[in-house]
């Protein structure tokens, strides 16, 4: 497995040597992972596996696999630079995998509802596939992104994608802030305040900086508060972010007074595509670089955040 230590080691050796090792590792490792995912896609129920969006995704995986396999052995720094350019191209090719798969699954489910196949069994099979598929995607993109960013101009307090001083405090502060800026640009409405409740002890060791879970949670809270209070004469009540440090782990808790998840919906919140907002998927064009930006509606926020947390 690849550990946080492996990622931080990039900063301890001469960069050229480290990048050579990293390129060789990715050159061997990524095509194996791509091949596994392609096999999984081929083993889906035939109607889903052959759905046009899913077929596009299979095409991307096959193309990237071929790029890696046809790339010659990496011998020197020039090879590393060429390899990294190929890696970047593959990285971009896969940008829209999540909406493409979501769209494919949505279309397939619509067909199921009118068809005769048992939906319940299929449903759990698909959810399991999506968890495996997206978790693998997160890992591949983290490894590739880390390698690529090592060759970008250095950023303070970063080794590649890892923020060397990133503590739960920083995550707890930074992601709500990001969510607010993002939302203020998209659909302005009176924003609630955020209360931060942090312990007084010194920050624990580094975390990967790309942890987006808190962002998704704050987004959900903002939506809940907006729906409940946008027409109300009352000021929207604050969202609370609590960071608590345990002996072995850290808890970051986001809570709001938007009314919570109805009991009848609780069982479904980890299900991909479960949403109570209107879905932007019908307007999604997977060839476009700009997906419709919505406060909620993809129904992927919670299940994907759980994968990132894992
Ligand atoms: N803080 C919250 N308050 C009330 N309901 C919530 C809250 N968080 C989640 N939910 C419910 O859970 C559903 C699923 O949330 P999730 O984040 O997975 O998807 P979404 O917000 O609908 O879409 P997106 O993928 O765009 O985030 C939401 O549609 C909403 O009904
Ligand atoms: Mg959400």
Query: Please, which residues have CB less than 5 A from ligand 2, an ion?
Result: 220, 296, 301
Indicate the fold that domain 4-158 takes in CATH.
Butyryl-CoA Dehydrogenase, subunit A; domain 3 (1.20.140)
Instruction: For ligand 1, say whether the CB of 291 is within 6 Å of any of its atoms.
Output: no
Instruction: For ligand 1, say whether the CB of 224 is within 6 Å of any of its atoms.
Output: yes
pLDDT at residue 21 tops 80 = yes
pLDDT confidence of residue 170: 73
pLDDT, tens digit (0-9, with 9 covering 90-100), for 74-85: 999 999 999 999
pLDDT, tens digit (0-9, with 9 covering 90-100), for 169-212: 777 777 777 777 777 777 666 778 888 787 776 555 555 545 66
The pTM (predicted TM-score) of the whole model is 0.88
Distance, CA of 221 to CA of 184 (rounded, Å)? 14
Q: Does domain 162-309 have CATH number 3.30.565.10?
A: yes
Please give the C-alpha separations between residue 295 and each of 197, 203, 212, in angstroms, as whole numbers.
25, 31, 15
Confidence of residue 118 (pLDDT cuts 50, 70, 90): low
Q: Where are the domains of the chain?
A: 4-158, 162-309
Instruction: For ligand 1, say whether the CB of 127 is within 6 Å of any of its atoms.
Output: no
pLDDT confidence of residue 287: 86
pLDDT confidence of residue 164: 81
Distance, CA of 235 to CA of 231 (rounded, Å)? 10
Percentage above 90 pLDDT, the chain: 50
Q: Do domains 4-158 and 162-309 have the same CATH topology?
A: no
pLDDT, tens digit (0-9, with 9 covering 90-100), for 38-91: 999 999 999 999 999 999 999 999 999 999 999 999 999 999 999 999 999 999
pLDDT confidence of residue 193: 83
Instruction: For ligand 1, say whether the CB of 296 is within 6 Å of any of its atoms.
Output: yes
pLDDT, tens digit (0-9, with 9 covering 90-100), for 144-153: 999 999 999 9
Provide φ and ψ at 105, rounded to 5°. Answer: -65, -40
In this structure, which residue's CA is closest to atom 22 in ligand 1?
Answer: 275
pLDDT confidence of residue 200: 73
pLDDT, tens digit (0-9, with 9 covering 90-100), for 249-298: 778 889 999 999 999 999 899 999 999 999 988 888 888 877 777 888 89
């Amino acid at each position: 497995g690849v550990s946080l230590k492996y990622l931080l080691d990039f900063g301890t050796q001469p960069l050229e040597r480290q990048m050579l090792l990293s390129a060789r590792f990715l050159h061997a490792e990524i095509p194996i992972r791509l091949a596994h995912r392609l096999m999984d896609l081929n083993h889906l129920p035939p109607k889903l596996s052959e759905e046009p969006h899913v077929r596009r995704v299979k095409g991307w995986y096959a193309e990237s696999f071929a790029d890696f396999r046809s790339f010659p052995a990496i011998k020197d720094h020039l090879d590393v630079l060429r390899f990294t350019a190929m890696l970047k191209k593959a990285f971009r090719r896969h940008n829209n995998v999540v909406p493409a798969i979501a769209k494919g699954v949505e279309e397939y489910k619509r067909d199921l509802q009118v068809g005769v196949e048992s939906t319940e069994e299929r449903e759990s099979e698909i959810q399991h596939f999506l968890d495996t598929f997206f978790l693998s995607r997160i890992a591949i993109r983290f490894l590739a992104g880390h390698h690529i960013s090592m060759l970008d101009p250095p950023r303070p307090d970063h080794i590649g994608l890892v923020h060397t001083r990133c503590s739960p405090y920083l995550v707890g502060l930074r992601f709500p802030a990001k969510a607010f800026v993002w939302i203020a640009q998209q659909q302005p409405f009176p924003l609630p305040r955020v209360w931060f409740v942090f312990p007084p002890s010194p920050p624990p060791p580094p975390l990967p900086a790309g942890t987006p879970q808190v962002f998704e949670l704050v987004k959900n809270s903002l939506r809940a508060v907006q729906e409940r209070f946008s027409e109300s004469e009352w000021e929207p009540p604050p969202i609370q972010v609590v960071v608590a440090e345990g002996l072995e782990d850290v808890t970051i808790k986001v809570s709001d007074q938007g009314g919570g998840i109805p009991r009848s919906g609780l069982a479904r919140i980890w299900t991909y595509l479960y949403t109570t907002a209107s879905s932007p998927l019908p307007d999604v064009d997977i060839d476009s670089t700009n997906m419709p930006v919505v406060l909620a509606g993809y129904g992927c926020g919670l299940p994907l955040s759980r994968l990132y947390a894992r």
